[in-house]
A and B are shown apart, each in its own frame.
Chain A
Amino acid sequence: MTKNTIEVNQLAKSYGSKQALNNISFKVREGSCFGLLGPNGAGKSTTMKILSGLLDADTGTVSMFGQGIRKAGNAVKDRLGYVPQSITLYEKLSAYDNLQFFGEMYGVQSASLKRRIGEVLEQVGLADRAKDAITTFSGGMKRRVNIAAALLHRPKLIIMDEPTVGIDPQSRNHIFEMIRTLKNDGVTILYSTHYMEEVEALCDDLTIIDHGQVIAQGELIEVLDRFGTQAVYLELQDGQRPPSLPGSGAPAQKGRGWLLETTNPLSILSQWAQACQSASLQVKQLEIVRPTLEAVFLSLTGTTLRDN
Chain B
Amino acid sequence: MHHGSFRYLIKHELAMGISRFYKKIWIWVYVAIILILAGTALTIWGGNDKFNPTYILFSTYMFPFLVFGISVKTLKREWEKGTYGWWLTLPYSRFRLLAAKAVSALIQVIAGYSLFFITVLLLGIYSFIIHGEGLSPIRELFATELQYAGILIGVSPFMLALGLLATVVRRSVMKPLTPMIWIAFGLFGNIFSWVSSFNSLSESGNSNGLISGSLPDWIWLCIIPVWMIAALLFAATVHVCNKYLQV
Contact = CB atoms under 8 A, between A and B. Distances in A.
Interface of A: 15, 49, 52-56, 73-74, 77-78, 80, 82, 84-91, 101, 104-107, 149
Contacts, number: 67
Interface residues of B, number: 26
Interface stretch (B56-64, B84-92, B140-148, B218-226): B84-92
B85 A105 contact: no
Given A54-B247, A74-B91, A74-B92, A82 B3 contact: no
B85 A88 contact: yes
20 contacts: A49-B247, A52-B89, A53-B88, A53-B89, A55-B245, A55-B247, A74-B93, A77-B90, A77-B91, A78-B1, A86-B82, A86-B85, A88-B82, A88-B86, A90-B16, A104-B5, A105-B8, A105-B9, A105-B90, A106-B2
Listed from nearest, the 9 A-B pairs whose CB atoms lie closest are A77-B91, A88-B86, A107-B2, A84-B85, A104-B8, A88-B83, A74-B91, A82-B89, A86-B82
A106 B1 CA distance: 9
B12 interface: yes
B55 to A, nearest CB: 40
A54 B85 contact: yes
Given A88-B85, A107-B91, 17 more contacts: A15-B246, A49-B85, A53-B88, A53-B89, A56-B242, A74-B92, A78-B1, A78-B2, A80-B91, A82-B85, A85-B85, A88-B82, A89-B83, A90-B83, A101-B12, A106-B2, A107-B2
Nearest to A85: B85
Interface string B76-105: 000001110111111111000000000000
Given A88-B83, A90-B81, A105 B89 contact: no
B243 interface: yes
A82 B85 CA distance: 9
Interface of B: 1-3, 5, 8-9, 11-12, 16, 81-83, 85-93, 242-243, 245-247
Interface of A, secondary structure class, is loop
Contacts of A88: 81-83, 85-87
A15 B173 CA distance: 10
Given A88-B83, A107-B3, A78 B91 contact: yes
Contacts of B8: 104-105
Contacts of A56: 242-243
Contacts of A54: 85, 88-89, 247
A107 B83 contact: no
Contacts of A101: 12
A57 to B, nearest CB: 12
